[in-house]
Chain A
Amino acid sequence: MRFILPLAGLAALAVMPMWLSEYGLGLMIGLVTYVTLASAWALFSGHTRYISLATAAFYGTGAYVVAVLNEVLPYPLVLLSAAGVGLAMALVVGLSTLRLAGIYFVIFTFGLAELVRQLITWYEVNVTGTLGRYIFLDVTARGIYWQMLALGAATIALTAWVHRSRLGLALRVVGDDEVVAAHSGIPLARTKLVAFALSATILTVAGAIASPRYVYVEPAIVFNPTVSFLTVIMALLGGANRLWGPVLGAAPLFLVFEYLSVHFPDTYPIFLGLLFIAVVFLLPDGVLAGIEKLRARRREARS
């Protein structure tokens, strides 16, 4: 029973492009992309409570790998290379930053996206001499949609597995108290690094899959910090430590932002900020936890 509903949902989403307009399909690609990003982000940050703002760094790197390699390698190998680059970057970043706690980690991850962007800009300007790159791939919008859907489904399945594994339990302990975790026999560095690397690799592949939609790629476009912020707020809104939390946060928020950015292109960042504040103040543990609390209160009131 636990598998039937998600699988039916996945099947319904998979056949959806048959009836969608061009615009509708574009919307669904965006939605599924953010569901994937939020779920992948929560895979590490949900339980450990290490708020990472590096989503754009990995997402952008994925897109850039495709931009550089799309004419050299066959497409599946390009995706594989993106995954490899994301993993390598995650290991380097993880080893150097996962000792940082709280706000220092947040700031570092935010700086990371900027650092990667500046490094690539410098390299392109000084070494290759061109800032922008084109992606000409034989991938249709439907193809992108299906790939992203598969990645999103795989991310949620992986999260479900992690939640039931020793790794998931270790991550929850790390999120509650790292000192207790260490004195209980949990290897802190390895636990955090494994989860961070898994999460970052998925974020990178998501960037690679989404990249053909851009056609023209330059650092300022793909390393957009808004991607990082949106991912965080979506995961937090739904409940980052729940399996379906990021999905429940990402789907409605993406549609709201899409609507706002179309109808209020100038004032839309203000709404983004307000929403961020509202989520943190009103639903710090997410909508799912909020609903549970409400139910518990009602049950108490009745009895």
Chain B
Amino acid sequence: MTLLRVKALAKSFGGLRAVDDVSFTVAEGEIVGLLGPNGSGKTTLINLVSGAFPATAGTVRLGDVTLTGQRADRIARAGVARTFQLVRILPSLTLEENVMIPAVFGARAHWGAAAREVAARALEQVGLAGRAGVTAGELTYIDQKRLELARALAAEPRLLLLDEWLAGLNPTELAEGIALIRALTGSGITIVMVEHIMEAVRALCPRVLVMNSGKLIADGETGTVLADPQVIAAYLGEVSDA
């Protein structure tokens, strides 16, 4: 069943078409990689789907709900959760409070013990259980990334948007990160992940989308797409066989 339908989506910043007539669908439970060189419009696409700013044209639908034209908080309550390219935690709140937020203000609107339970489960999923009372500002970078993922998971989303969640990790942490995301895929959650690390894309995503200069230039099975000369020319170059 199709969960996410993006149709003729466009975003202009002045004269720049950051996202230019992009259409694709994502099925429920699927995990899709979103690739492309820097400035190709990947993050803008994530921002459009999550409602960080309005689209210039086109539509985004999640199931039966039209997301385009809605405020970010309504889109979040409709079941879309995200992480940010530059990690964004709530530094003055504890880990438990950080993770509780989308559980409290999201679709399910948990409160009290129920919200704490969701938070505890999400913290455990990312390996931060037992540190619920620590203030988020004191965490290391990898743990901040874990926390951000836990926060997205606590929203109990239908669609999870990861914006370079694996960037900036060392090899050990990367292996942990990949294992963490793989563990999620069995749960029925749908994931669209922007990622530059090919190792992770090959390991996690059976299907990838490739963007270049705002346009979607390829959409298909990961191996086939990465071997496509047009894709290699646009972006991958020598990285393709890394």
Binding site for B on A (CB under 8 A): 166, 169-170, 172-173, 175-177, 179-188
Contact = CB atoms under 8 A, between A and B. Distances in A.
Interface string B96-112: 01001110111100010
Nearest to A170: B105
A94 to B, nearest CB: 17
B102 A184 contact: yes
A185 B106 CA distance: 5
Given A166-B104, A173-B101, A182 B73 contact: yes
A186 B151 CA distance: 14
A120 B207 CA distance: 66
Interface string B49-89: 01110000000000000000001110011000110100011
B107 A173 contact: no
A172 B107 CA distance: 20
B92 A172 contact: yes
B88 A182 contact: no
A185 B77 contact: yes
Nearest to B161: A183
A224 B92 CA distance: 34
A180 B90 contact: yes
Interface residues of B, number: 28
B111 to A, nearest CB: 7
Interface string B36-51: 0000000000000011
B186 to A, nearest CB: 25
A176 B91 contact: yes
Given A184-B76, A187-B73, A188-B73, A169 B104 contact: yes
Given A166-B105, A187-B73, 5 more contacts: A173-B90, A180-B101, A181-B73, A185-B102, A188-B73
B101 A169 contact: yes
A88 to B, nearest CB: 25
A289 B92 CA distance: 12
Interface of B: 50-52, 71-73, 76-77, 81-82, 84, 88-93, 97, 100-102, 104-107, 111, 151, 155
Given A166-B104, A166-B111, A173-B101, A183 B76 contact: yes
A184 B88 contact: no
Contacts of B93: 172-173, 176
B234 to A, nearest CB: 30
B90 A186 contact: no
Nearest to A189: B71
Which of A172, A179, A185 counts the most chain B CB atoms within 10 A?
Answer: A185
Contacts of B155: 184-185
Contacts of A185: 73, 76-77, 102, 105-107, 155
A169 B76 CA distance: 17
B26 to A, nearest CB: 19
Contacts of A186: 73, 101, 105
B119 to A, nearest CB: 12
A185 B92 CA distance: 19
A177 B73 contact: no
Given A176-B93, A179-B88, A184 B111 contact: no
B146 to A, nearest CB: 16
Given A169-B104, A175-B92, A177-B90, A182 B71 contact: yes
Contacts of B97: 169, 172
A181 B72 CA distance: 9
B107 A184 contact: no
22 contacts: A169-B101, A169-B104, A173-B90, A176-B90, A177-B89, A177-B90, A179-B52, A179-B88, A180-B151, A181-B101, A183-B50, A183-B51, A183-B52, A183-B81, A183-B82, A184-B105, A185-B73, A185-B105, A185-B155, A186-B101, A187-B71, A188-B73
A169 B109 CA distance: 13
Nearest to A176: B90
B216 to A, nearest CB: 24
Contacts of A188: 73
